[in-house]
Amino acid sequence: MSQFQIHSILTANATAKPLLEGSLKKYGFVPNLHGGLAEAPAALTAYIELTALFDQTSFSPTERQVILLAVSVENHCTYCVAAHSMIAKHMAKADRAIVEALRNGKPLPDSKLEALAGFTRSVVKNRGVVCGQTLDKFITAGYSRAQVLEVLLGVAFKTLSNYTNHIIHAPLDTAFQAEAWEEPAQCSSRQCA
């Protein structure tokens, strides 16, 4: 049971209301993640601004979704995996085989995207301490040093929402239900501290 309220435009405080109104305008509904973040308007503002900044990176829409899904799967965030699976397939027009491989922890059918996903997973797993071989593989695949830092931006942005969902237990929005995700059995042995 969550101790957090998922705010609507009506229940949000005066600072969060216009932010949620912006979410409604952008998505056609207020995602429960945004409603949960509205408890702390500075956190919701950071999430919205990081989203906009990440959208300005040199990555294609599909590459951005590969990063966000790789982070979300690695962080075991059922909400974000579902949301980004839907966004990847329907907004970014990513190949469904790529999305399914990411969701299931399988190699991607595209070697460059596999290098991107592998590098991203390594950043998350190793808390940013990435070995030279992993970095070399990323660069050799055709990515730049600037894109190394852009991956870090994606990891920071998505970690904020993954961790928020772990704590507030945002219910999955109806819009994302078709992509509901359960973490693979080998990952579900996490303990609550």
Chain mean pLDDT for the chain = 92
| 190 band by pLDDT with thresholds 50, 70 and 90 | very low
- Is pLDDT of 193 > 60? no
Q: How far is CA 31 from CA 22, 93, 109, in A?
A: 11, 21, 31
| 189 band by pLDDT with thresholds 50, 70 and 90 | very low
Mean pLDDT value of segment 117-133: 93
94-97's contacts with Cβ under 8 Å and 24+ in sequence apart are 94/61, 94/62, 94/65, 94/66, 95/62
Pick from 113, 37, 3, 123: nearest CA to 75: 123
- Which pTM value belongs to this model? 0.91
Q: What structural domains does the chain harbor?
A: 8-56 (1.20.5), 59-179 (1.20.1290.10)
Q: What is the pLDDT of residue 1?
A: 56
Mean pLDDT value of segment 105-123: 96
| 192 band by pLDDT with thresholds 50, 70 and 90 | very low
182-189's contacts with Cβ under 8 Å and 24+ in sequence apart are 182/78, 183/73, 183/76, 183/78, 184/104, 184/105, 187/76, 188/76
Q: What is the pLDDT of residue 91?
A: 84
Pick from 59, 70, 133, 61: nearest CA to 99: 70
The string of pLDDT tens digits covering residues 13-56 is 999 999 999 999 999 999 999 999 999 999 999 999 999 999 99
